[in-house]
Structure 1
Amino acid sequence: MSMQPWGAPQPQPYGNGQAAMRAAHSDRERAVDVLKAAYAEGRLSADEYGARFEGVQRAKTYGELAYLVSDLPVGPAVLPMAAMPMMARPVYAPRTRTNPLAVTSLVLGLLCLPTFGFFGIPAVVTGHLAKNQLPRTGEDGDGMATAGLVLGWLSVGGWALLLLLAVVS
């Protein structure tokens, strides 16, 4: 990275001068048009569109704009294709969110282990709620919800077994 006269680092994602050129408002508008078209065609989810839109508004160079639309078909290209070889184009992949109920289920399930405590039923409830939400929201956390369910049911089963043994004796 080279430094600009006022001290801010200047990113050069593609190693050429054009990618480091400052983007104008009209360049951002073209990038937003590409994002709108991709969203309308179903190529982007609402969350991806929102994240990329914010990135376009913060972008200062052609290279940053090109990065945000690099995996989308573009009409008027933000950066000429000759300046950006196909193998050098990064693919923008936003991180998916983890379902909070799945995390809660796993934590409650893990709390059942040392205490053999009363966290089994809440772990089962939050695990089932998370399993119902995951297909609708597209979030991550299926494994966490499953682990929380298993640990929760083991705790509930252990309590049931203790209660049964207490009644029998």
Structure 2
Amino acid sequence: MSQSPYPSWQPWEGQGRGVPQPWGGQLAPSMLAAHADRERAVDVLRAGYAEGRMEHGEFEKRVARAYAARTVGELALLVADLPQGPVPRPVPVQAAVPGTFFPVARPRTNGKAVSAAVCGLLCVPTFGLTGIPAVVLGHMARSEIRRSGEGGDGLALTGLVLGWLSTAGWALVMVLVTAVTLAVG
């Protein structure tokens, strides 16, 4: 029987003692492993098994050890000899982020649109006194919004609708009062 040039133990087996050896990487090997870290290691093991890099028995042992691992260093040992291991590398601090991943900047809301909506809402408690200002501010705001691209078109439209309803309601009341006054007397 010939002697193999390779040791009878694997690095992930902890030199036969059942204790994983510390990993000498730069990603804090003593840091406690999260569930996501364990799943990532198992995914690397699955890929290695699917590529034929290990036998089924070895794969099952490594998966069991991955789920039992307490630190990131233990997980790194399990996948260190596989192409996708040992752990994800940190993102460089000055990495450029493509513009598509930045949130879209919301346009500034037009102040006249806010004023139109407030005046429209105040039509009921002020008995229609703010109806005409709501209409005027709403038209001015919509014109500015189309020209400048600001936000607040819904607010301006709300002010317009409530202002016109209030103005029309009070005009109807005035016509009815006038008609009743002429009919009575």
TM-score normalised per structure 2:
0.46
Larger gyration radius, structure 1 or structure 2: 2
TM-score, structure 1 as length reference: 0.50
